[in-house]
């Protein structure tokens, strides 16, 4: 980026565009772009916010997951936050993540299972004595739609 003003403008543009696509995806269930295109927008925003932390704000799409639940179905508070998993797109990113994990856990070896990402609905199901008592979508990670 040429200067701070153009960087800030690009960050605001990305946030607006990502918020638009979040609304289309999470609320209207009618996405306009592919997951790969969305990931690229989010990735650019994350990189800019990392490079220019003075522009990072709590309301940035990089600081939350999902969207506020639609109140039509009722709202359920999650007992523990339902957060999102991060992505890696290259061997270098995977190795960087592994290095951070090794330092954090103070270990060098781990067992892993790798799976293809399958898009779908993230839900939290609560069972009491083998009976389903509550089903809720991820929503914003703290509150979801009641789908019981």
- Say how many C-beta atoms besides its own lie within 10 A of residue 18's C-beta: 18
Which DSSP symbol is given to 146? B
Hey, which residues are catalytic here?
Answer: 117
- Cβ contacts of 23 within 8 Å, gap of 6 or more: 67
H or E segment to which residue 123 belongs: strand 123-128
Mark 81-92 as b/e (b = at least 16 C-beta within 10 Å).
ebeeeeeeeeee
């Amino acid at each position: 980026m040429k200067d701070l003003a153009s960087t800030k403008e690009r960050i605001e543009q990305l946030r607006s565009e990502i918020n638009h696509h979040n609304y289309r995806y999470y609320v209207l269930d009618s996405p306009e772009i592919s997951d790969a295109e969305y990931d690229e927008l989010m990735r650019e925003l994350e990189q800019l916010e990392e490079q220019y932390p003075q522009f990072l704000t709590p309301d940035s799409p990089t600081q939350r997951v999902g969207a506020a639940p639609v109140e039509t179905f009722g709202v359920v508070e999650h007992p523990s936050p339902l957060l999102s998993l991060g992505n890696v797109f290259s061997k270098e990113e995977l190795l960087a993540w592994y290095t951070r994990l090794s330092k954090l856990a103070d270990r060098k070896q781990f067992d892993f299972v790798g799976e293809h990402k399958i898009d779908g609905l993230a839900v939290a199901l609560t069972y009491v004595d083998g009976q389903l008592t509550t089903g809720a979508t991820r929503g914003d990670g703290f509150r979801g739609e009641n789908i019981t």
